[in-house]
Amino acid sequence: MNLVDYPDRELMMIALADQIASQLRRALERAERVTLCVPGGTTPAPVFELLSELELDWGRVNVLLNDERWVDETSPRSNTALLRRHLLKGRAAAATLVPLYLPAPRPEDRMAEISEAVQEVLPLTVVLLGMGEDMHTASLFPGADRLEEALANDAPPVLAMRAAAAGEPRITLSAPVLREAMHCHLLITGAQKRTALERAGTLPEIEAPVRTVLSHATIHWAP
């Protein structure tokens, strides 16, 4: 595992935002557009805040989530709303959001449109991922209804996903899309997630889905 330990969270967030920005800048020297893919959840807001102020040709950057809860933006559970609050502002307001949620009762109702839009911005240039203590990443939850399909090499890029631990239905990028990113970062904090990460290294992907990116990712950890 390529694991970087930081003495504290603040330092980690600064180092990570700098790395992501320089990877995007380098990719923009060779490509007209690049894609940054980011998690929701409670951990990444400080990285988003820092990134939103960094110098970058944001007008050529597509931004999409790793996964979204099937709720509209007025919900406190909306990852899209989190992105709008913390990332898509300041300099980064010029970036283009590729939505993973469109109004409809179920993710399946809008899957064709969402998948088509996601396909257009692949491969991911930089993916930042989070991890739950149950070793899920994106919405690849242990025990989720379509986990096996989402982990397969021939998985569709985007899938609807339901799991007891997930709350509402989810929509998620699949494992091959995450693994094929040019640069992959996994951001984790605290002792419990560190223990879960170490455990994930010993388990099959179906029990510890985060394992699917462990050999590709730079893992950033702070207490």
Q: What are phi and psi of 6, to 5 degrees?
A: -115, 150
Which residue among 16, 17, 40, 56 contacts ligand 6PG (CB under 6 A)?
A: 40
Among 132, 142, 157, 209, binds ligand 6PG (CB under 6 A): 132
Tell whether the torsion through CA atoms of 164, 166, 167 and 171 is positive or negative: negative
Q: Under the criterion CB under 6 A, does residue 159 sit at the interface with ligand 6PG? A: no
Taking the complex as a whole, how short is the minimal distance between the CB of residue 65 and ligand 6PG, in angstroms? 7
Is residue 67 at the binding interface for ligand 6PG, with CB under 6 A as the rule?
A: yes
What string marks each residue from 72 to 111 as x (binds ligand 6PG by CB under 6 A) or -?
-------x--------------------------------
Q: Where are the alpha helices (DSSP H) in the chain?
A: 9-30, 45-52, 79-86, 111-120, 147-151, 175-179, 191-200, 211-214
- SS3 of residue 141 by DSSP: coil
Q: Does 41 bind ligand 6PG (CB under 6 A)?
A: yes
Identify the residue among 35, 52, 62, 66 touching ligand 6PG (CB under 6 A): 66
Q: Total residues contacting ligand 6PG (rule CB under 6 A)?
A: 15
User: How many other C-beta atoms can be found within 10 angstroms of the C-beta atom of residue 162?
Assistant: 17
Contacting residues for 45 by C-beta, under 8 A, at least 6 apart: 82, 85, 86
Give contact residues for ligand 6PG (rule: CB under 6 A). Answer: 39-43, 66-67, 69, 79, 130-132, 136-138
